[in-house]
Structure 1
Amino acid sequence: MRKTQYSRLSAFYFFYFAALGAFLPYWALYLKSLNFNANEIGELLAIVMVSKVASPYLFSWISDHIQKRLVIIQASMFVSVVVFAGVIPFQSYWWFAFVMAAFGFFWNAALPLYEALTLNHLEHDTSLYSSIRLWGSVGFIVVALVLPLIIGGSHISLLPLIILALLIANTVTTFLVDDRTPKSSHQSSQTHIIETLKKPIVLAFLFACFFQSLSHGAYYTFFTIYLEDHGYSRGFSGAMWALGVLAEVGLFIVMKRLLTKFSVCHLFAMALFITAIRWVMLALYVDSIVLLFISQLFHAASFGLFHACSIYLAHSLFPGRLQGRGQALYAGVSFGLGGTLGHLLSGYAWDSQGAIWTFLSSAIIALIGAIIASKYITKERLSGYANNT
């Protein structure tokens, strides 16, 4: 791959996850500053995620049929910018719900399409994916560290403008890359998505992804609030977010070497088991800085390792013209359905059951996903599946 193309592909990830780095850790705080309660915060964040259930698949279905993937990415990013600007003039619950639904519908559609585009650029050297994707983690880290210096104290009201600027930059990067369609698209055109979804290994993969993202709901919704409730500063909270993503960057750097030594199936199951341990530590030992640091380092596995393995598995399980829809199904079932229910249920559990039981419940959910992965997603099953497609 040419260095110029590598840089341009990486730029999209940098700004996409920089925007996420502003949104995910701090949007709940912004909503809290507008006097929304925990239930409302959970609902508004869930609304953003619920669009991931349908919109990525809808846009990917269109893309796989008209073979204009990049145009659809550009359009979805442009509309997401216009829609997000709507949070600035009005601040009622129902207006926010409408804007978050529309914003999520278009913004969430872009990433799975771009994942497929990136893998098509890489062709057979998909192990390079992690070295490109790590720039998204770098963007997240930069924003997570710098943003508290800007919005600290009474300046949280600047957050929507900052996110909007990052979304605009992200949109610009989509005009710097070339479109690329899969070379095997004609050969695989007869493969029907329903037939693929009937395969046990595909179903197991989607269920495991669902439970993994469901378990992250409390973390993504309330982690910053949780730390502040235990006496930590906003700057420290930002540093903890950055530490987790820094660990994720380290994972992406060594991912290619890990894949030469271990099966992607084993790594996938390991990621889910470590996630369960992470939520137990966060539930019981948040007041121990050392154990809190360790639990954040586990983000390397709970997101970095999990996501990298999921991208490889989705690419293998959904070949040819199904690639776009495969990535969309992964995003929709995992971050869409699982993420939506995670945000929603954690919001209700936080007030009724408390933080400790909410995170312990998250650990149980992650453990269910780990058991499914270790039993049904094996190297032998994956090899057999590949030989039959």
Structure 2
Amino acid sequence: MLPYWRLSAYYFFYFGFVGAFSPYFTLYLQSLRFSATDIAILMSLMQVMRILAPNLWSWLAEHLGVPVSILRFSAVASLAGFSVFFFTTEFTGIFAGMALMAFFWSAALPLIESVTFRHLGRDSHRYGNIRLWGSVGFVVAVLGMGHALDHLPIASVLWMTALILAGIMLCALGVPEATHAAVQRNGASLRETLRRPEVRALLGACFFMSAAHGALYVFYSIYLVDNGYGKALVGWMWTLGVLAEIAVFLFMPRLAKRFTLRAILLFAFAAAILRFVLIGWGVGSLPVLVFAQLLHGATFGAYHAAAIAAVNLWFPGRLQARGQALYGSLSFGAGGMVGGLLSGFTWDTIGPAWTYTLGSAFALAGFVWLLRGWRQGVPGTEVHE
């Protein structure tokens, strides 16, 4: 029997942490008088560890056969790493705490994705209905903290975020191991899978999509506050994007029946090209910013659902955890690190508008790679979810 609510609860708190940490921890760092470069370096540690650690964790999960046990350990260790922030405001101390937290935190997403698909088996089309609870958790966290921070000191970010991490830890204890193996679709090895041009095109394009979002995740809240918007509105803007994401997750089973995964991904990349230009040059217009945030439904919701479905199809059986880890490492890890670090260096030099325009250039590069590398009509690539 599918443990729907236990998996959904984990996603709720996991992305609740993202909703608390990504928009508001940068404001906390700014309150400590760190420079844009320092903030980018600290936040990029989350991406750096997503490059290094997920493959280690997935290898352990594959060889030990206990992904949920590793998931539980990562939850406890992540909270321990975050606790360092309560005892220091120095760059070196926060750097150490961030590195520790990120190393264990990076184990979570590829493992829970793998466990979820193992529980789903042939019902993988139900993934979106479980994953949308993560988006709900993000909305609850980002809205609640946005309003709270209009009345509480910015340092309150620490204890509110720690409570969410504690929620993750409790939910991890309730996630059961899958009682059956993932459905075996073929006996291809990891090396053989990676030789396929459409697989390389997908992973390369995902790198550029995450790089395109680098400035958004590091500086968007700072960008809005610096341009006169209140913290509550910042929370609503993040929420608007996630509401669009939830809508896409709800309709994804229908979309996947009408359009190929390739077509959905190409549309998502085209939306990203437009979105970041609008954010960069339209900050003075709230309607423009609202429209740009609605595009998050495509640039993350449709993109992630289609990408992870393709990974699930192309990395079957025992390769599943490795495939999810590789996807996370190259996209959220390497791509997010490059995009975040580069935005830190360009923010104070060429300015925010051109920094976000650079994000559009990354999205364009991903669009071209995907279009040329994943050929339409090639057998085995025009997959529907």
Give the TM-score normalised by structure 1.
0.95
Indicate if the aligned counterparts of 2:185 and 2:316 stay in contact, CA closer than 8 A. no
Q: Against the structure 1 CA distance between its residues 344 and 183, is the aligned structure 2 distance closer, same or farther, given a 3 Å change threshold? A: same
Amino acid at match of 1:148: G
Q: Which residue of 2 aligns with 1:268?
A: 265
Task: From 356, 359, 370, give the equivalent of 2:356.
Answer: 359
Task: From 281, 295, 300, give the equivalent of 2:297.
Answer: 300
Structure-to-structure mapping, 1:97-116, within 5 angstroms: 97-116=95-114
Indicate if the aligned counterparts of 2:146 and 2:232 stay in contact, CA closer than 8 A. yes
1:251-275 C-alpha deviation (Å, 9 max, x unpaired)? 1010111011111111011111101
1:334-369 C-alpha deviation (Å, 9 max, x unpaired)? 000011111111011101110010011110110110
Structure-to-structure mapping, 1:111-126, within 5 angstroms: 111-126=109-124
Q: Against the structure 1 CA distance between its residues 134 and 378, is the aligned structure 2 distance closer, same or farther, given a 3 Å change threshold? A: farther
In structure 2, C-alpha distance between the alignment counterparts of 1:51 and 1:312, rounded to whole Å: 24
Q: How far 1:283 sits from its partner (Å)?
A: 1.2
Indicate if the aligned counterparts of 2:276 and 2:356 stay in contact, CA closer than 8 A. yes
In structure 1, C-alpha distance between the alignment counterparts of 2:333 and 2:379, rounded to whole Å: 25
Secondary structure of the equivalent of 1:235? helix
Indicate if the aligned counterparts of 2:122 and 2:183 stay in contact, CA closer than 8 A. no
Structure-to-structure mapping, 1:168-183, within 5 angstroms: 168-180=166-178, 183=181
Indicate if the aligned counterparts of 2:82 and 2:101 stay in contact, CA closer than 8 A. yes
In structure 2, C-alpha distance between the alignment counterparts of 1:364 and 1:226, rounded to whole Å: 20
Amino acid at match of 2:149: I
Amino acid at match of 1:263: T
Q: Which residue of 2 aligns with 1:63?
A: 61
Amino acid at match of 1:380: G
The farther-off stretch of 235-244 and 224-233 is: 224-233
Indicate if the aligned counterparts of 1:266 and 1:374 stay in contact, CA closer than 8 A. no
Q: Which residue of 2 aligns with 1:278?
A: 275
In structure 2, C-alpha distance between the alignment counterparts of 1:382 and 1:57, rounded to whole Å: 29
Indicate if the aligned counterparts of 1:151 and 1:157 stay in contact, CA closer than 8 A. no
Indicate if the aligned counterparts of 2:24 and 2:221 stay in contact, CA closer than 8 A. yes
1:288-322 C-alpha deviation (Å, 9 max, x unpaired)? 11111100000000110111011101101111100
Q: Which residue of 1 aligns with 2:256?
A: 259
Q: Against the structure 1 CA distance between its residues 42 and 152, is the aligned structure 2 distance closer, same or farther, given a 3 Å change threshold? A: same
Amino acid at match of 1:141: V
Q: How far 1:181 sits from its partner (Å)?
A: 6.2
Task: From 63, 68, 76, give the equivalent of 1:78.
Answer: 76
Q: Which residue of 2 aligns with 1:149?
A: 147
Indicate if the aligned counterparts of 1:201 and 1:382 stay in contact, CA closer than 8 A. no
In structure 2, C-alpha distance between the alignment counterparts of 1:134 and 1:184, rounded to whole Å: 22
Secondary structure of the equivalent of 1:286? coil
Q: How far 1:382 sits from its partner (Å)?
A: 6.0
Q: How far 1:385 sits from its partner (Å)?
A: 9.4
Amino acid at match of 1:94: T
In structure 2, C-alpha distance between the alignment counterparts of 1:215 and 1:101, rounded to whole Å: 23
Structure-to-structure mapping, 1:204-353, within 5 angstroms: 204-353=201-350
Q: How far 1:186 sits from its partner (Å)?
A: 7.8
2:32 pairs with 1:7: no
Amino acid at match of 2:9: A
Q: Against the structure 1 CA distance between its residues 199 and 237, is the aligned structure 2 distance closer, same or farther, given a 3 Å change threshold? A: same
Q: Show structure 1 runs of 5+ residues with no match.
A: none
Amino acid at match of 2:213: H
In structure 2, C-alpha distance between the alignment counterparts of 1:332 and 1:371, rounded to whole Å: 21
The farther-off stretch of 221-230 and 14-23 is: 221-230
Q: How far 1:192 sits from its partner (Å)?
A: 2.9
1:156-202 C-alpha deviation (Å, 9 max, x unpaired)? 111111111101111111121211166357886x6432232222111
Give the length in aligned residue pairs. 383
Q: How far 1:49 sits from its partner (Å)?
A: 1.5
Secondary structure of the equivalent of 1:143? helix
In structure 1, C-alpha distance between the alignment counterparts of 2:80 and 2:240, rounded to whole Å: 32
2:193 pairs with 1:196: yes
Secondary structure of the equivalent of 2:229? coil
In structure 2, C-alpha distance between the alignment counterparts of 1:21 and 1:237, rounded to whole Å: 12
Amino acid at match of 1:86: V
In structure 2, C-alpha distance between the alignment counterparts of 1:332 and 1:10, rounded to whole Å: 23
The farther-off stretch of 128-137 and 228-237 is: 228-237
Amino acid at match of 1:67: G
The farther-off stretch of 133-142 and 221-230 is: 221-230
Task: From 368, 371, 381, give the equivalent of 2:368.
Answer: 371
Q: How far 1:153 sits from its partner (Å)?
A: 5.1
Task: From 159, 163, 166, give the equivalent of 2:164.
Answer: 166
Q: Which residue of 2 aligns with 1:42?
A: 40
> How many percent identity over aligned positions?
39
Amino acid at match of 1:54: L
In structure 1, C-alpha distance between the alignment counterparts of 2:196 and 2:374, rounded to whole Å: 11
In structure 2, C-alpha distance between the alignment counterparts of 1:345 and 1:182, rounded to whole Å: 43
In structure 1, C-alpha distance between the alignment counterparts of 2:307 and 2:278, rounded to whole Å: 25
Secondary structure of the equivalent of 1:383? coil
Q: Against the structure 1 CA distance between its residues 379 and 130, is the aligned structure 2 distance closer, same or farther, given a 3 Å change threshold? A: farther
In structure 2, C-alpha distance between the alignment counterparts of 1:291 and 1:187, rounded to whole Å: 45
1:61-118 C-alpha deviation (Å, 9 max, x unpaired)? 1111221111111111111111111110111101111111111010111111100110
Amino acid at match of 1:57: N
